[in-house]
Amino acid sequence: MIFASDNWAGADERIVEALAEQARLGGPAYGGDALTKAVVDRFSEVFGREVAVFFVGTGTAANALGISAYGRPGGIVFGHAQAHINVDEANALEFLGGVKIVALEGEGGKLAPGGLAEAIAAYPEQGFHHGQPVAVSITQATELGQVYLPEEISAIASVAKRRGLALHMDGARFAGAVSSLGLPPAEVTWKAGVDVLSFGGTKNGCLAAEAVIFFNPADARDFGFMRQRIGHAFSKAWFVAAQFSAYFDNDRWLTLAGQANAQAKRLAEGIRSCDEARLALEPAANEVLAVLGAGLDKRLKAAGAVYHPWSSAGLPAASLPGPEEVLVRLVTSFRTSDAEVEQLLALLGAG
């Protein structure tokens, strides 16, 4: 019963097969091969406009590089306090871009336009005693399993653009958000005001395939140099391209994400009917935030369930755990089986 993270899942067989097939072929190095060029064109089709696409190996590299394309030494980047760039990436953005992250609170892991506007206003233009704002970063889906609606993204983009700030989206779980919303990818990215997207594949069936997507290709003028400088330019780019080719084939990326979301929904339904557990938030994708009684938590772990405790920051007051309760995050993946879910539900008394 593995619900620790979608990073624990393996890889989708069709993606592995595509990778193995490409291993017998090869081609011109550093993205000059036909498959890489075809996949770049496929990204443009997926998003409904010409985009600039750069493969990288990790989500951390995608975030740090994507935001740094708009940064400068002394720059300020606004993001949620629980955002991956703030909590889990070892200050990679500060190291690479010479910027400072200003962490903001917001329910469900989302930034609120009003709070963002106030935070930006604390750094007035032409000031020389403080850093200068350069970008805003949001996460889709958030670290608390919520998704931004197009109008929510547009409201944040409007605040950012008033000060000339770029809007970055950490899309490590972008496929899950798109599957949940049932909207074209364009509606929750460039049409809503997103400038650059960290497009994740690793959590959803790929091996180590991430991409940085610029919706205005001119913004990527120096990006190839930046990527090469930190060692994320693949000489054999076709190995990443092969994964994305299979990932997009017949909308495989959305099918895989939909499977993970469906299992999370089943978990949520079971938690609702359990006397010793409750949902902290209604899940919108594949992350389920639950408050467990301390006794239930011990029994689940003793039975072999693997999951992690979670921070209560960003939760409404009514969802906070009590003295004999623990907040946990249960994450499903495309690999989460019916048997795993049924076993956990049985332990919850909801099977």
> What's the CATH code of the domain at 277?
3.90.1150.10
Are residues 235 and 259 both part of a single domain? no
**Assigned domain for 6 exists:** no
Is the predicted pLDDT of residue 15 greater than 70, yes or no?
Answer: yes
Is 206 a member of any domain? yes
Domain hosting 88: range is: 12-250
Q: Is 269 among the domain residues?
A: yes
Give me the sheet containing 308-309, strands edge to edge: 277-279, 287-293, 325-331, 308-309
* Residues 344, 303 share a domain: yes
Claim to verify: residue 188 and residue 109 sit in the same structural domain: yes
Q: Single out the residue in 204, 227, 250 at which a domain terminates.
A: 250
- Binned at pLDDT 50, 70 and 90, residue 217 comes out as very high
Least Cα distance to 173 among 193, 197, 196 occurs for 197
Any domain includes 5: no
**CA 240 to CA 100: how far, in whole Å?**
31
Residue 138 belongs to domain with CATH number: 3.40.640.10
- pLDDT digits over 154-208, tens only? 999 999 999 999 999 999 999 999 999 999 999 999 999 999 999 999 999 999 9
Examine the domain organization and report whether 216 and 267 are in the same domain. Answer: no
- The per-residue pLDDT for 138 is 98
Task: Find all residues with CB under 8 Å of 23, minimum gap 6, and list them.
Answer: 239
Is the same domain home to 216 and 280? no
Instruction: Answer yes or no: do 187 and 274 share one domain.
Output: no
**In a domain? residue 1:** no
Place of tokens 């409007």: 158
| Total number of domains constituting the chain | 2
Q: Which residue among 250, 285, 301 closes a domain?
A: 250
Confidence of residue 120 (pLDDT cuts 50, 70, 90): very high
Q: Are residues 218 and 268 in the same domain?
A: no
Residue 3 lies in a domain: no
Q: Do 275 and 334 belong to one domain?
A: yes
Is residue 351 predicted with pLDDT exceeding 70?
no
pLDDT score of 350:
62
Q: Is residue 7 part of a domain?
A: no
Q: What is the pTM of this model?
A: 0.96
Q: Kindly state the average pLDDT of the residues 264-276.
A: 95
Mean pLDDT, residues 237-261: 97
**Same domain assignment for residues 206 and 182:** yes
Which is it for the CA torsion 283, 184, 262, 249, positive or negative? negative
pLDDT at residue 24, as a whole number? 86
The domain boundary, picked from 225, 250, 275, lies at 250
Dihedral Cα 242, 245, 250, 252, nearest 10 deg: 70
261 lies in a domain?
Answer: yes
